[in-house]
Chain A
């Protein structure tokens, strides 16, 4: 069974700090990785995609991928209270390229 594991949290950081979210996956054949943000009662919103080993930066967000270690992470710099949400790691698997989601990490940024 293809699995995606996330540090379940909850994670609390002070405003302005760096929040670090981690994810591991079991399917070595996976090629595409995504981070979604989900506010309570809302649907997931795509914030980062990463396909190659290394870092990918977009504004305050940096995704890191290490396929050898089957590890993907998300760093949020200068965290803001509006970043408080559940962050879902998703890995694309299968011939239909379905997404398998981790259980999510609940992040709270304290003002």
Chain B
């Protein structure tokens, strides 16, 4: 149980284009999903928290107009990187958590984005 998928697993795009990443909880309903970014040799940095049906909460320093997050259902959240630039190249990872007070976060396999 507690399987989270991401699609695509890797993507290469040209500078200035937009890229959409999907995150799905496969066997549970995720009331909250999180989006992280990880640069090489660094730890995970939380970008935003999204709750189903409401606007995402972005961490300080993360541009909400550049990183669009939609959590339209209890099993799907999307992250769209708009007008991507080479400095946006990174490993993007989502996690999902179900309802309840004690419930771990489970991570998707990640999406490696390269902007050329």
Contact = CB atoms under 8 A, between A and B. Distances in A.
Interface stretch (A13-21, A44-52, A56-64, A66-74): A44-52
Interface string B31-62: 01010000000111010010100000100000
B113 interface: no
A85 to B, nearest CB: 14
Interface in B57-116: 57, 93, 95, 97, 102, 104-110
A20 B109 CA distance: 27
Interface residues of A, number: 20
B49 A44 contact: no
A52 to B, nearest CB: 11
Nearest to B4: A43
Interface in A27-57: 32, 34, 36, 42-46, 49, 51
B97 A44 contact: no
Contacts of A96: 32, 49, 51, 57
Contact of B109 (A34, A43, A98): A43
A77 B110 CA distance: 29
A101 B43 contact: yes
A32 B107 contact: no
A25 to B, nearest CB: 14
Contact of B46 (A32, A99, A104): A99
Given A51-B102, A98-B34, A42 B46 contact: no
A88 B44 contact: yes
A104 B43 contact: yes
Contacts of B32: 96-97
The 5 A-B residue pairs with the shortest CB-CB distance, nearest first, are: A43-B110, A43-B107, A101-B43, A96-B49, A103-B43
